[in-house]
């Protein structure tokens, strides 16, 4: 997929052209899984309902993560990042990290009820981490997002012992991984790094294995003026960029 300016006017999932059919038919919304009568979908068959069209970035992340069956947090994050509501950089990534991790975790545990409650609580917590936190507080919101995730799955509180250690450790580990690459900040790079650290942490500390593609390449560098290119482990030099 090539991202271009057209991306903002085509399909919200893949950026391709929209097709208007003569006849209305039942279509299932890509994000909320509800069925609607419609005559518009993209050339690849993606349909997005009017309600999902109007959602804010955090509402969309919440809706999609509650409905999805996926157990791959990296794939979930990239799918959501393709929606133009999620900006190249922005505080929605602070919620994106715990949301995709919680969705994958509770999908693996087959516990939909807990998934929904925890994702809503993660949003409440993540919305307190303001934009630009990485620069102003020395604490990238994507790293804090992994702390929110581990705090929620372990039930940590400020008074816990083991759970407290786990949630603070994951924030420390993902923050170090993010810091080691230097700036300028990139909400995509930091999200990937935070998710990869969380997946390693789950495997080593909590004996839970999530399957992700750690060798993935980023498709968003053409949108990032400050891309660090060769210093980024996800940089794809074959893409058209600045």
**From the CB of 92, what's the least distance to Zn ion, in Å?**
18
Cis peptide before 107 (omega within 30 of 0): no
Closest distance of CB 240 from Zn ion, Å: 20
Give the binding range for Zn ion (CB under 5 A) out of 52-60, 147-155, 184-192, 214-222: 52-60
Q: Whole-number minimum distance, CB 183 to Zn ion, in Å? A: 34
Whether the link from the prior residue into 184 is cis, omega within 30° of 0, is yes
The CA-to-CA distance between both ends of the chain, in Å, stands at: 17
Half-sphere exposure of 27 (CA within 13 A, CB side): 20
Q: Report which of 125, 138, 132 is spatially closest to residue 90, judged by C-alpha positions.
A: 132
Only segment of 11-19, 107-115, 161-169, 228-236 that touches Zn ion (CB under 5 A): 11-19
User: Do the bridges between strand 18-28 and strand 35-42 make them parallel or antiparallel, or are there none, so unpaired?
Assistant: antiparallel
Rg (CA), the chain: 18
Q: Which is nearer to Zn ion, 28 or 176 (CB)?
A: 28
Window 152 to 181, contacts with Zn ion (CB under 5 A): none
Q: Applying CB under 5 A, which of residues 6, 44, 214, 226 lies at the interface with Zn ion?
A: 44
Residue 25 within binding range of Zn ion, rule CB under 5 A: no
Binder of Zn ion out of 7, 27, 29, 212 (CB under 5 A): 29
Site stretch for Zn ion (CB under 5 A), options 23-31, 91-99, 103-111, 222-230: 23-31
Separation CA 117–CA 115 (nearest Å)? 6
Judged by CB under 5 A, how many residues of this single chain contact Zn ion? 12
Q: How far is the CB of 94 from Zn ion (least distance, A)?
A: 23
Residues in Cβ contact with 45 at an 8 Å cutoff, skipping those fewer than 6 apart:
none
Does 46 sit near Zn ion (CB under 5 A)? yes
List residues bridging with 20 in a β-sheet. Answer: 40
Binding site for Zn ion (CB under 5 A): 11, 13-14, 16, 29, 31-32, 42, 44, 46, 49, 52
């Amino acid at each position: 997929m090539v991202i271009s300016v057209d991306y903002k006017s085509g399909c919200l999932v893949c950026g391709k052209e929209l097709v208007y059919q003569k006849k209305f038919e039942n279509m299932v919304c890509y994000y909320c899984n509800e069925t609607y009568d419609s005559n518009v979908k993209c050339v690849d068959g993606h349909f997005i309902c009017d309600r999902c069209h109007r959602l804010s970035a955090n509402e969309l992340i919440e809706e999609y993560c509650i409905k999805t069956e996926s157990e791959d947090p990296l794939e979930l994050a990239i799918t959501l990042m393709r929606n133009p509501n999620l900006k190249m950089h922005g505080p929605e990534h602070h919620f994106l990290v715990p949301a995709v991790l919680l969705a994958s975790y509770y999908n693996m545990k087959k516990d939909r009820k807990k998934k929904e409650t925890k994702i809503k609580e993660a949003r409440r917590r993540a919305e307190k981490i303001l934009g630009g936190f990485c620069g102003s507080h020395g604490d990238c919101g994507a790293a804090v997002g992994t702390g929110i995730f581990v705090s929620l799955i372990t039930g940590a509180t400020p008074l816990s012992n083991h759970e407290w250690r786990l949630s603070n450790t994951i924030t420390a580990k993902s923050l170090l991984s993010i810091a080691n690459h230097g700036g300028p900040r990139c909400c995509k790079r930091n999200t990937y790094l935070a998710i990869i650290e969380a997946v390693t942490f789950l495997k080593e500390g909590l004996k839970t294995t999530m399957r992700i593609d750690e060798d993935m390449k980023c498709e968003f560098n053409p949108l990032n003026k400050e891309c660090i290119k060769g210093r980024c482990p996800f940089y794809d030099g074959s893409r058209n960029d600045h």
